[in-house]
Amino acid sequence: MSILTILIVLIVAGVILYLVNNYIPMDHKIKNILNVVVVIVVIAWLLKIFGVFAYLKGINI
């Protein structure tokens, strides 16, 4: 996956989250939970793309 594709996905996710936060009326707590979930999903997606999850699978505890 190219850097351009990654940047486009991050920008689109940010714009969608911005629009949801500003134009959809919700309780403040629900918006905070939504923001945290989106950030965690994006971070997990980035870690998967850069191969960090594949590296962690090889570690035995």
pTM exceeds 0.85 for this model = no
Q: pLDDT tens digits for 4-59?
A: 999 999 999 999 999 999 999 999 999 999 999 999 999 989 988 888 877 767 66
Amino acid in position 33: I
Q: Which comes out higher in pLDDT, residue 60 or 10?
A: 10
Q: What pLDDT score does 56 carry?
A: 66
Asked if residue 33 lies in contact with residue 54, where contact means CB atoms within 8 angstroms, the answer is no
CA distance 44 to 32: 18
Residue 61 pLDDT > 80, yes or no? no
Residue 2 pLDDT > 90, yes or no? no
Among residues 13, 16, 36, 14, the alpha carbon closest in space to that of 24 is found at 16
